[in-house]
Chains A and B, each alone.
Chain A
Amino acid sequence: MTQQVQKKQSLMKAPLLEVKELSKHFVVSTNLFGKPKESVKAVNGVNLSLKKGETLGIVGESGCGKSTMGNTILRLIEPTKGSIFFEGQDVLNMTSTQLQKMRKEVQMIFQDPFSSLNPRMRVFDIIAEPLRTHKAAVGKELQQRVYELLNLVGLDHSQANRFPHQFSGGQRQRIGIARAIALKPKLIVCDEPVSALDVSIQAQILNLLLELKEKLQLTLIFIGHGIPAVKYISDRIAVMYMGEIVEMADKESLFANTRHPYTQGLISAVPIPDPSLREVSEQVILEKDLPDQRNLPKGCSFYSRCPFATEKCKGQKPELKANEEGHLVACHYPLHA
């Protein structure tokens, strides 16, 4: 009981990360005078706030802007509009020294463990690199720290002198995780960290992330298109569609009281690994593909695929609004209202 109260209290504190009206538009073509003519709105006015110790899952189909958003939060991509606050500091207006300090606290784990590790570097150097760059440790201490990190992610320090190609996919992802936690960051953005892995290995990595989160008191943003995996690891989930958050709620609430038709379609599309539920499971099949992102519909971006769309949806964009329980949804006619 007391633990729960303590957990609640710590969650009440100021947010670790706050994202306001974040947009990233990629210019596709320009007119004669170099002004943008057409642009893809990869991220379009996203608001987020992340409490310390929380795991926020972000789901959506490919092209919905979830990875772009992750990259923008780390300022790996400069946003077009909006602001990002990390521990109250404005990330977009930081000096380079401030930014370097911030980068120590925010790390990233990438999707593809095959291309995110330098094939010419030994595992020791891959993990030691952030420690060296930020002058966190040298000499014996550095070696000890790297061995400690290897241990933490379930690898043996005798493997430190090997190259990435000598490891399997799951082991490589462990190396990527060791590198990400080397500087004891506060926030880690995980961009599809398990989608390239085999089923039996996915569970290992998910459990490792959960374990490390507890041990190191991490805050995670977990981006993924595998909805069961995101559900397993997250406390709160944001559903993105065409660069916007269409629904965001606690995990339990999102699945039990789904309010956006898109979320409903997305959830019911996930194949259930139980053949006895084959006939019973309700099926809401989303027809058609994603619309062209260069000319989004004026109203609700989900209008063209929504089974419940009306004239109002076509003309007027719904805002992201919360109900009493804090369940956010951007829909004129939310389900379970």
Chain B
Amino acid sequence: MTENLLEVKNLHTHFFTENGVIPSVNGVSFSVKKGEVIGIVGESGCGKSVTSLSILQLINKPGKIVEGEIRFHEKDLTTFSEKEIRKIRGNKISMIFQEPLTSLNPVFTIGHQISEAIRLHQDVDKKEAKQRSISLLRKVGMANPERQYHAFPHLLSGGMRQRVMIAMALSCNPELLIADEPTTALDVTIQKQILKLMKNLSNELNTSIILITHDLGVIAEMVDRVVVMYGGEIVEENDVYSLFENPKHPYTKGLLNSTPKIHQLKEKLQSIEGNVPTPDQLPSGCNFQDRCPFAMDKCRELSPNLVASTDGSSVRCWLHQEKEVVNV
């Protein structure tokens, strides 16, 4: 549990468009230990998906990783060639996307698609791959996997498709699973089934998971450690219990207060003023200053650093700057 499986160091991913450079991810650093489940939470445009795509080197033109390292087992993935990264992608690190219908190929059976992933990375024949696919489908809770093996994606419901995606992602026993909003397109009852499935599999196979979501409820139920992102930067990082109990950054506080809670009596929801910024219209100084209720003059001029404190948390805010600087 102590060894870092993945280390993202000072990642900058920018998009070079006709209208100028859009800095989607700006100096993100975090690490994932073996068997750990970490959550990245944030709103649209905060760079959470771009971060996950950067890890797998799936950033296409006009996007580019301009700076930073992504160390997986001590090796920097940003220096890998396309051929080398393909050996990692879908094998050691796999990914589940938000919309299961668009991420499955509609003209192949689901069995074909899972077998393909297996045969690509493992030296097995067709028959063996089929056997493994069927047992994976059974593992993710598909009823009658022998028959479903021959089903086309459109015949399955959203929850079933997401199970297929998980089966495919797990086909090579990955060490790290990146799940980008895996349940956002699903109903709550199905979401519960999928989350439980992911949790069980991670316990059973000791797979690390990076769970990307905007839903704090999902975070609270699933993860060990939380990274909160805003405007392409990490604004707070802490273990899940401390973060929910004692959020430090005003944005984290705002997010928690603006989430309606089912188990509490009605009190007025506190919303965060203003709008979610797109990466090309961030204010000067601290990214959050124009929406922050505690903004001071200093916040409008200078951008704060992410500061770690001794209890293992870190926060990027001028209100919490007395401690040592770790990351410039």
Chain A residues within 8 Å of B, Cβ to Cβ: 61-62, 168-171, 198-204, 206-207, 225-229, 231-232, 255, 265-278, 283, 285-287, 289-290
Contact = CB atoms under 8 A, between A and B. Distances in A.
B83 interface: no
B275 A203 contact: no
B259 A228 contact: yes
B187 A276 contact: no
Given A207-B269, A269-B192, A289-B159, A168 B275 contact: yes
A232 B193 contact: no
Given A225-B188, A275-B240, A275-B241, A200 B262 contact: no
Nearest to A230: B260
Contact of A271 (B190, B221, B269, B276): B221
B217 A270 contact: yes
Interface stretch (B89-97, B250-258, B317-325): B250-258
B246 interface: no
Contact of B263 (A168, A198, A225, A272): A272
- Chain B, interface SS category: helix
B98 interface: no
A59 to B, nearest CB: 9
A198 B187 contact: no
B183 to A, nearest CB: 9
B269 A265 contact: no
A289 B276 CA distance: 35
Given A275-B240, A276-B244, A202 B220 contact: no
Contact of A203 (B193, B214, B266, B270): B270
Nearest to A210: B268
**Which of A229, A275, A277: most chain B Cβ within 10 A?**
A275
Interface in B178-232: 187-193, 195-196, 214-221
Given A225-B188, A271-B192, A272-B221, 16 more contacts: A61-B190, A62-B187, A199-B214, A201-B275, A202-B260, A203-B269, A232-B269, A269-B192, A271-B218, A272-B220, A272-B263, A274-B220, A274-B263, A275-B241, A276-B244, A285-B196
Contacts of A278: 220-221
B188 A273 contact: no
Given A199-B214, A200-B276, A206-B269, A273 B259 contact: yes
Contacts of B189: 61, 265-266, 269, 285-286
B258 to A, nearest CB: 4
Given A232-B269, A276-B241, A270 B275 contact: no
A95 B260 CA distance: 43
B159 to A, nearest CB: 6
Contacts of A231: 260, 262, 266
A198 B262 contact: no
A285 B193 contact: yes
Contacts of A272: 217, 220-221, 261-263
B220 A273 contact: yes
B268 A290 contact: no
A207 B271 contact: yes
A227 B262 contact: yes
B270 to A, nearest CB: 7
Contact of A228 (B255, B256, B261): B261
Given A204-B271, A289-B157, A198 B43 contact: yes
A231 B270 CA distance: 16
Contacts of A232: 260, 266, 269
Nearest to A265: B189
Interface string B272-287: 1101100000000000
A269 B191 contact: yes
A269 B194 CA distance: 11
11 contacts: A168-B276, A203-B260, A206-B269, A228-B262, A268-B192, A271-B218, A271-B220, A271-B221, A273-B216, A273-B217, A273-B244
B160 A289 contact: yes
Contacts of B191: 269, 271
A268 B188 CA distance: 9
A61 B192 CA distance: 13
Interface string B145-178: 0000000000001111000000000000000000
A-B pairs, top 5 by smallest CB distance, nearest first, are: A271-B217, A203-B258, A203-B271, A228-B260, A200-B272
B245 interface: yes
A277 B43 CA distance: 24
Contacts of B43: 198-201
Contacts of A226: 260
Contacts of A207: 268-269, 271
Contacts of A268: 192
**Which of A171, A232, A268, A273: most chain B Cβ within 10 A?**
A273
B44 interface: yes
Contacts of A171: 275
A197 B263 CA distance: 22
A232 B266 CA distance: 6
A226 B218 CA distance: 13
